[in-house]
Every structure is written in structure tokens, then in C-alpha cells.
Structure 1
Amino acid sequence: MSGDRTKTSAIEDSRFRLLIDAVVDYAIYMIDPDGIITSWNAGARRFKGYEEAEILGEHFSRFYTETDRHAGLPQRALDTARNEGRFEGEGWRVRKDGTHFWSHVVIDPILDASGVLLGYAKITRDLTDRKMAEETLKQSEQQFRLLVQSVTDYAIYMLDASGRLTNWNLGAQRIKGYRPEEVIGQHFSIFYTPDDREAGEPQRALETAAREGRFENKAWRLRKDGTQFFAHVVVDPIWGETGMLLGFAKITRDITEVTQAQHALEQTREALFQAQKMQAIGQLSGGIAHDFNNLLTVILGNLEIVRKRVGEDPKIVRLLENATQGAMRGVSLTQRMLAFARRQELKTEAVEIPALIQGITGLLRSSLGPAVKLQTRFAADLEPAAADVNQLELAVLNLATNARDAMPDGGKIVIGARTEEISDPAKSSLPPGRYVCLSVVDNGTGMDAATLASATDPFFTTKGVGKGTGLGLSMVHGFIAQLGGRFILKSEKGVGTTAELWMPVATPGSLAKPAINVPSMAPVPGLCVLVVDDDSLVLTSTSLLLEDLGHRVISAVSGAQALEVFGKSPAIDLVITDMAMPHMNGAQLAQAIRGIKPQVPIILATGYAERLEGFVTELPRLSKPFTQLHLVEIIAQAMK
């Protein structure tokens, strides 16, 4: 019977040995109480590299690194197994070829029935791949943590599922002003404004992120010191492998400066668009006014000649006078259009603003009526402005009348002036220099933003059909701009309006040359006058006026024709030429004539102010529309 048991035990031992030896993913072997290896399986051979014949009888400490052997780790592992019944741990081990692998080790003591230590069973598993993956992940996490921490332009931090902060990077500290210990554990709603908190914006952001997978917004946020900044915010949910919401990743960027710069850029673009629009309309208005002046020159010239040649029939005289008054209204309209287009003739001089306002106070009071109170406030150190007196008076009257119309139940108008130095062009639309600011302030109905934006556009009016040309403020705008200043209009609905005329301080270089006063005199007949104009109607009208004065007229419809005629007619005493002509303008024609006959007098006729250079700036100017008297005076000036 004992023999059978012995045979059965041997069979079981053989089977167990076959089982152990078949395991290739684990190194399973036995060591005696002193640590000498007594068995070796296929798994140990596979990843430690030793054949059974090479390793049996060797001490198991050879698998440890030299450092671990010097530290006594092999013996400590055996002592722990013996004293505690088991040793388990992880560490680097050494293969036969000297390479290292990361192992998970379990050592169990083997005791006989009486408790005597027979040796140890040792199981080792190669976890190098897992260890390297862990190290790579650890390194990646560390690099990511360093990356996030080093970002200073973005506030990057995590929230738990309830919205409380769990970490805090340097960017968050820089932008929001809190140190990590001050803010970790706090609810992220502390960064919202009180109004947003009351409106439930923090919770809405988290709910939106969880529901839609992302929340993005731009809004005002609070720093630790209470100041606000404009933020671009992104919130992303973080989900666990089981689908549970773990928290949120939140990125905030301070875009205050970017937004302000964008706003400034948009304002600049809008100002540029407005300037381009006004320039285009100004060119159109100037061109219309020029053509209209030509027509008025013809109409007034012919009316003047007819008036001289008809009898004293009261009915005919009345018709002619009525037609003349209508034409003069047209002259007034073209002057306004030219003022807006910055093409009117200006006579700049040093203007004392208090004296100018004092001079028109009576007219102002009678125009404003008893329900409007007029006050003046002038700085004691006020300097004279470089302006055209007549045009400035018209501008003030225009602004005061507009102010009166904005106060149907009466009110107060304050006219004031001060001198200011503009040194920083970035803070003003004016070039650097000294300026006189003349202001007209009322406490009337004011204008809303849309009306204010269009107030200086030509032909824009709020006075109703037939109650205004819509050129008043545009005329003021153009006039002040032509002086080199700015017209600034400020208004608020229900509060009132402030109109500011910024004009350069008068300096010797900013003033017009004194005009030459020529006394009225009878026309001197007998001149041979070359008249040049591309408009045949103006050409005919001017010729008739000159012939009526007793002059002989030679006409030309272009600069080229005029030069041809001038070369063939040495008896020409005077040239009157239009400025705006195609191919060769009046200034170019004058230059060519001077090259042929320097001493011949030349008069430039123009429908609006034009930039001239060289000697032509000294030539007499005849503004359209003109009368026969104007011709007499300008010819006398030219022939002097």
C-alpha cells in the first residue's frame, strides 16, 4: 500500500513539474534556505537567459543589480519571507546578457510539517513593458504639467464636477491675481461679476459644457483686486471611462487689449469710410456747384444785358429783378455747396472771437427770440483764430439757429471759446499745434446716435420737407476743414448739443495776403480781349458783357485753340481764361502765354477755389458767377 502511495506521489510530482515547466510567462524556481537555486523552469530560462545547467547551484542574488546587492536587498527579501510568511515587491533585475528588466517578485517560504524551513518558492514576472509605459506616461504627464504651468498668457485650470478649483497655473495667477493656495478649493464663480452670478451664468456654463461637450463665451471677469478684464473662456467636460463626469478643464484668456485694439481699428475704419464718403460727396458737390456757377454766370450776365437794353417798363423790370433774385439764391446755394466741398474762396485773417461774437450779438438775439437766453464765456488768454470772418459769422449764426430750433419751448445757448495745445495726434483727430475752440452749447432736445452720425451729411435735415436745405452743418464742416481745423458735434438725446469749431491759432503764415482794393471806375473801352472757356454759354455771355463795355472780343473754347489764336493775334491786350478746362487748364494756358508774351495781363475765372502754384497764384481771380461790375473792377486791377 505504501508503495502505491509512493508511486502516486511520484506521478503527481512529475505532473506538477511538467506544469511548472510549461509556464513561460513567469520565472518559477526554488532556492534553499541560503538562497541557492535548486530548480529552474522554462519561464525563468526565457526571460532571464540562463539554462538550467548554468544556474542551478548559484545564489539567486546574481539577478539583482550591483547597487541592490550592496544594499543587502536579496537577504532582506528572504528574511521578510521567513519572518512575515511572504515577500512581494518590484524592482530592476539583471539578465544573463547584462540587460535590465523590471520585475514583480513573490517569495514564499517552504516549511515542513514541523515548521522547519526547507527553502523558498520564488515567482518572478517581467513587467518591463508596463514599467516603460508607466514611465512614458509619467514623463508625458510631467511634461504636460510643466507645459501648462509655464503658460502665462492663458489661465488653465481644472474644476471638479461641482465647479470647485483643483489646480491653478501661472497664467491664471498672472491674469486673475490669485496664488494657488488662495483659490484652490474655491468655486470658480468668484471670477464672475455680481450681475452674472445673479443671472446664473457660472452654472449655465458648466451645464452647457456637460450637455453640448463644450462651452465658449466672451464676457467680463473679475481679478482679485476687483478690476475687470474682458475674457475669452472655453470650458470642456472631463469624462471617466465609465461615463461619469469627473470635472471640467477651463481655459481663460485676457483679450481686453485685443478687444480695445479691435474696437479702435473699427473706429478708424469707420472714420476712414466716413472721410472717404464725405470726400466723394464733396467732389460731387464741388463739381455740381462749378457747373451751376457756369449756368448762373450765363443767366446773370444775360439778365444784366437785357436789363440795360429794355426800357423802363415796370412790368418787365419787375420780371428781370425777380429772375435776378432767383439766380442770386442759386448763388447762395452754390456757395454752401462749395463750403461743404472745401472749394470756396476763403480770406483767412486773424479773428478776435469775442469781438466777432459781439459784432453779431444783436443779430443773434433778434434771430433767437425772447424765449432763448444767450450767454458768452471766453477764456482770458484767448488767442486770435485764423479764419474767414464772413464765413465764421455765417457758421455761428447757422449753429445758433439750429440750437434755437432744438429748443421749441425756449432754453439757453452758451457761446464760448478757449485756446488749446494739441500735442498727441493719437488722442485727437487734429494735427499737433495750437487751436482756438469756439463752442456753441444748447440744452435742447439733442440727437440720438443715428441722427448724430448723419448730422453733417449734405442734404440731411430733420426740419421736414421744404424747411431746410440740409447743407447748414455740412457747410460748417467743410469750411472748418478747409481752414485746417475740425468741426466736432456732440449730442445726447434729452440733454442737448455741443458744436465745436476747432481753428488754428492765427500766425503770419496762416493768413491770406491783403486784398488789393481797386476803386470802382468806368470801363476803359478799346481793349482786345481773348476769352477762353470750354462752356459755350459762358463764353458767349462773357463776350457779350465785354462787348457791351466797348471791348473787342476774340473767343476760344480750349487752351490749344487759345494758344493758336494768341500766336496769330499780336494785338491782344488781355486774356480772361477759365480755370477748369480739359486737356489744358487755365493755369497751364497762362504758363504757356507767359512763355510767348510775358507782359500780357491774364485773369483766371473760376467757379471754386483751386490749388495754384507758381506765378499764377499772383494773377487776378474772377469768381463765378460774376457781373459786369465785377468785370470792370477785375480788368482795372489787371491792367493797372
Structure 2
Amino acid sequence: MADDASRMPEIDAEAGRLSALLQAIGDAAPNLIYAKDLERRMIYVNPATVQAIGRPVEQIIGHCESEWSSDGDEAREIAAMDARVMASGGQEIVDEVFTSATGQQRVFRTAKTAMRDASGAVIGLVGVSTDVTSLRRSEEALRANEERMLFGLDAARMAAWEFDLRDGSSRRSQNAMALFGLPPEGTSDLYGLVHPDDVDRLKAAQAQAVAGGAPYDVEFRLKHPDGRMLWVAVRGQLQRDETGRPINLAGVLMDITARKHAELAAERSAAEFEALAENVSQLAWMAEPDGTVTWFNRRWYDYTGLPSGLDRDARVAAAVHPEDRERVIAHWSTSFGTGVRWEDTFRLKRADGEYRWFLSRAEPIHDARGKIVRWFGTNTDVTEQIETAEALARSEAQFRAISEAIPGMLFVSSPTAGNLHVNETFCSFTGRAREELLGDKWVDALHPDDQARAREIWAGALKAETIYMAEYRFRRADGTFRWHLVRALPMRDEAGRVTQWVGACIDIHERHMAEQELQRRVDEAIVERERALFQLHEAQKLETIGQLTGGVAHDFNNLLTPIVGSLDLLRRRLEDERSVRLIDGALASAERARTLIQRLLAFARRQTLQPRAVDPAHLVQGMRELIQRSLGPRIDFVAEVESDLPAALVDPNQLELALLNLSVNARDAMPHGGRLGWHVTQEQVAADEHPDLAPGNYIRIAVSDTGIGMDADTLARAVEPFFSTKAAGQGTGLGLSMVHGLAGQSGGAFRLESAPGQGTRATLWLPIALEKTTGTVVEPEARTAPRRARLLLVDDDEEVRFTTAESLIELGYDVVSAASAQEALETIGAGMKPDLLVTDHLMPDMTGAQLAMELRQRLPRLPVLMVTGYAQLGPEELGDFDVLPKPYRHAELALRVAELLAEEPVLQRSLS
């Protein structure tokens, strides 16, 4: 103990020196040095630490981090790390961010070590921190630079690489894997991905680069692991050590697939262009922007026979016709000087000395900035076209001379531009200048009433490409109008296309004016009726119903015909009153069945329009029950008919259908019920009182309802074909147009009046019939025909054929029957010459109309009676044939046969 006591001053002195040394080291050290107790209170800080904290030392010593730190999050992170070090009793090195009291933020790399006493117990910690802020910023800048470099490499589809020649190791940028399938590190087998055809060339380039004999710059194909074949380019630089020994090869690996493909495509395109240009039929050439020709294809030299060494001026002088040369050179200079598309026609000299016409064209080729970089041109041989055009011009001149010499009105029209030429006679007759008759202006020289029809017929001829023929009134120079027959023939080219119409206008005024006005009106009515029927038949539903109804009616009429015929024959032969009464009852029922079939055919629009005298009161009375059933219980129906009305001239079946259509339309306009009225009167129409009616007496039928009515736009279009306000599937839009057409065809008029919420009134005017209405045919006394006549009877129905033959035989005629058209033709061929042909219409293989026309070729004056249960015969089928609808009575058959044989009537007609 004495020794220890004697040594204490020495120990204290040593401790003092150590303490002073530590204090000096701490004061001089640039690092932060500090010590903490177990409660994390500072027990020592060097000046650098005080400066970094930015607070007085008295605010630091004896205080923990939460008291002197200016950032709570940083204080908590320091406390957690301190507790972790003291708990472990070891050491921990970490980068920590510390913000001073003045707001300056620094990054310190700190080593914290647990501090122990002599017994080894942890009594605190010692920390030493080094400011690494600049280092961290340098590292971050380096990373940013590396990221920017990698981004640039990615954008350029490039990867950086380095190959250490000393150990053979390879390093590549991170994007090498994505771009080329090469890992960033390692010595993977690059050659395994290189195209076999390119391996030797790549190795040779590498060897030359290492040897220093050539720069490392090579292109090759590389197969990416995902299966793509890439074109890549390697650019590298050799690095040497201080002794000059090669130690490293570094550079970039670039994806040049797109460029390579473009180059290959350009090479193919150039090869294809050259092949095309050398083999086209034209003389092709290319020129510089100023027009200096730099290339001709093989056909140019073959055609001209000129050597390739001549300059442009020499070529022009040698090839272009002397008469064209100056003009071509001037045009050439202007076109190529202004950059305007070149086009000209001139003569070029062939190798044998002959000159031929060529159409020369050139288009400028621009770069991306729009600057002309070259011209590409062709010369096309157009000698035949020019010679043909010249011949055509001569022909046209001759035609014009001939047309001017002919006294008639001649014209030439184009399918698209109207009249191209009219002769002088045309001009002098109309009193118009030639320009006023070209194009479509010639229509202005027509009567105003003919102009719309002229345009329509001309449009039809253009569409059908057929002969154009029509009759119009042309206005003469003195203001009068004369009728002309206009006829034009279509002229076609080699392909069969119509190029023009050549026609003449022939004066037919005297002939046309000689025709009766009534016949003209009838013709117009027929045309209008056929047009209306055509439009009506476009409705698919109505067509289907019509076909079904027509077929049923045909078969039903064929069944009724032998029944009616047999009953007629029996009635004529039986005399007891009871039998006659029974047969009369059966005939009356058959007559009602025939009327029903006629109404079905009228509803289906399968009847030929046959206007006759019709009693309006009788027709209205006959339809009353049908209308009441069609309207339903919620609509009141009232029919008012003026007494002692004269007969109307109209097709009764079509009139019934018109009234039914108007009533059904009225019913649909009254969904919640209402009132429908028919009002039939006679009306005297004065001159100019009604724009569509000539002065005179008419039967006026007004159909009015209390329905929802129509607005002005709907009312204006109501009679248009296929216009309907009903929902899809509830109407065809043909009802009102049919009524309108019936009125016009019958010589009357039709008018609609309506307003929303005020109902609708439809008024139909019909002309008065000159003759009175007729009743049923009354069977005359049985008698033989005044003279013998031979009749050919043709019908494929055996029962109809039998009863008809019996009726004709009883009348005293000789009858030869045939079951088909073919059998009838064979009978005629065998020598039979009939006085009259009685034939059914619908038969297998050949219709009755076709049979009649065939027999008319052999027997031109043969009368024909067409018998049909399905009367849908157009004018082109009817011709002058008489038609007898099935079923028919014995008296009707006798009367028709007698009239066709020009006999004195053997039957009498009277009202039943």
C-alpha cells in the first residue's frame, strides 16, 4: 500500500498529462468527438462538435440530444442508435444527417463505441464523426451522371462496355441486358450470339484493334436471346499502360438494326426502281434540280440510237423535231427553273429516222425540307392517240358540214354534258343562238308543259344507254309551237361504252295534231297507272299478299267456272219450276262468290283498271257492312248519298279499295274513337274553280273524320308514294298515292284538307259517265249461231275446258279443244284454221298471251278471247286481245264470241 501511495503523485501526473493530451487532440481534431453517459447526456464535446451543433457548450454538456438538436426526427434517430450501441456494448458505424441550430444540414459518418469502466460495465459511449457531406454530394453527382449517361445510352440504343485484356473479364452498362441480352458482368460467350457468318470478321477486327493496326469499328449481326436478329456496331478504343502494353479495350455497342434495314430497303428499292425503269414501255429519265439530265433508261437509247456521251443540248438537237425544238427548250427552262411539274407533247426521232409523237412528263422529288433534289420523267408514245384525234377532228368537221347541209334539226349530245353540237337549222327554227341550245339549255326551247317530261325521258335513256326517242313541242322563232319526233342513237366505243348520242328532230305536227285529244289523255292515264303500279309493287308485304291472293283467286275462279257453266247449261235444259229456282239460287251464290274474288283481286291490286259507269248509291250501300266491320265499335259511321245521282265513270273495284283505304286511315287517326262520314253529292265545277279539273259535272265523294289531323309538312307529303307516318310494319305509304292516282287516271281530282286536332277531309271528284249503269246479263232465248264458225278452245283445266266447249257447241259453234298451248300449236300446224281463239291465260310452259302472239305470227287477223281467273295483264300482254274474266255466265261467253266474230248480237242486255 505504501508503494501505491508513494506512486499516486506519479499516477496523477500521468493522468493529467493524458487528459491534457486528449484535450489537445480533441481541440485540434477536425472530427466531432464527444462522450455520453447512460442517460445520453453529453459529458464531453470537442470544439468541432460544439461548432457543428451551433449552440453554447453549456447548453450541450449535461443535456441529451432532444434538448440541443434542432430537428425532432433527427434527435429520435440519434437516440435510437445510441441506445442500440450501449445495449449491444459494441460499436456501430453509420451515416447520419444532422441539422445545426443555424439550419445548416450536413452528413456525418459516425463511429459510436460503448464506453466501459474498470469492471467492464457499460457506462456510456464515445462518438467520433467525420463530415462526409462533400463526399456524399460527389457520389450523388456521380450517380446522376451515370444515370444521365445510361439514359443517353438507352435513347441512342447503345451500351457501354469494357474488356480487360489482362484477366479477360468483361463489364457492360446495366442496359446491355435489355438491349442485347448481354449481362453487365462476366465473360459470357459473346461469339455464341453473333451470327455465324460474322464471327470471323468480328474476331479479326478485335485482333487488329489489340495489335494497334486499326481502330476497333465493326458491324455484325447479333441474335438476341428473345429470338430477334439485331444489327449492331462496335466502336472501341485501346488503352495502354505506361510501358505501352495494351491493358484495356473500351467503347460502346450500338443497335443499328433500323438503319441497316433502311439501308437494305433503300438498296432493294434502288434495285427495284432500276429494274422497273429499265423495263417500262416509256422512255424514262432523271434530271438534276436545274434540269440537267443525268440518266436515261435503256429504252431511250434503243429508241433514239444516240450514244450515252452526248450532253443535254446535243440530245435535244439530235432527238427533238426541228419544228418543236425551240418551244420545248423554252418550256423546259421555264418549268425546271420554277419547279413546276413538266408536261409537254412533241416529236422524237427514232433510230430509223422516223418521228413519233411523245407525251413527256416529269415530277419533282423533294427532300424532307421541301427542296427539289431531282426530277423523274417519262416519255410515252402517243402517236396513235394523236393520229386518232386528228382523224376524229376531220370526221367531226365532215359531220358538221353534213349536218349544216341537211334541212332537218340535228344534234349531238354527251352522256354527261348535254348537247355538244346543234346544226344551223336547229338554231334558225328555234330563233336561238347556238350557245343557247348547248348543254341542257335546249330544254328551254320546248313547251313549258314538255320540259319536265323531256328531262325525265332523257335521264332514262342515259341510264339505260338505249335509243332515245320522244315527242315534244318546240317553240318556233315566231313564237308558235310545233310537235317533233326526237330520236337519237347511242354511239359506243370499243369497250361498248356510250360516248355520245346523235339524233334528229322530225316535224310531226300535222300527224300529232290529227290524233284525238281523248286518246292522248288515255295514253297519259295508262303511263301514270303503270308507274303507280310499279311503285306499289315495290312494297314487299303488299306484293306477297297480292301473289297469295292472286293465286287463290285464280284457283277459285277455275273452280267456279265449270260450276257456273254447268248450272247455266242445266238451267237452259230444265223446265220444272223447282229445279229452275234451285239453279237460280246456286247461280246467285256463285255470282256473290265471283264478286268476292273481284274484291280480293282489287285489294291485292291484281285487277286491270277498267273504268265503267258506276251507281254511287249502289256502291256505297254495298260497302256499308264492310266499312262498319273495319272501323270497330268505337267509331260512328254515317253515309249520306244525294238522291238521283248520275253514274260515275270509274273502275268500281279500285273505287271500293280507295274508299276502304281512306276509311282505314281515318280509323287509325281516331285511336280513342270518333266519327267517320261519307258524303256523296253531284257538283258543278266552273272554269278556273279547281286547278286540276276541267269545267263540268262531277260526282263528289267526301270522307271526313274527327281524328288527330296532320300538320302542314305532313299534309304536303301525304300523297307521296311510300310516305307514311305510321310505325314500321303498320303501313306501306301507298294508300293515299293510290287514291290520288285513281282520281287522276279517271279524269277527276283528289284533295286533302287537315289541321292538327281538327280532323281530316279527303275529297274525290269523279267524272260523270255518258252511259247509264248496266245490270246483269239476262240469258236470251236459246238459238243457234247465225253462221257456222270454228273455234279453237285452249285450257289446261279439264272441267273448265269441258263446260266451256259444251256452252260453245250449244251456241252452234264448231269447237276444237286443246289441253295446252303446245297441243294448240300442233293443231294449227296440222292445218286447222280457226275463226276465233278462246284461251286460258295462266298455263304451264306458255301463257295464253304468248300463245296468242305466236298464232298471230301465222294468222295475223285471228280474233283472240283471253279467259283468265287472275286478270293481271299489262298492256304489252293484252295488245288488242279481248279479256273475259272467270267465272263467266253462258250469256257473257256468247256475247263476247259473237262480238269478236263480228256477228249481229245474239244476246240482249237489260237491267236485272
| TM bucket, shorter chain | 0.3 to 0.5
TM-score, normalised relative to structure 2:
0.31
Larger radius of gyration: 2
TM-score, normalised relative to structure 1:
0.42
Higher RCO (C-alpha 8 Å, min separation 6):
1
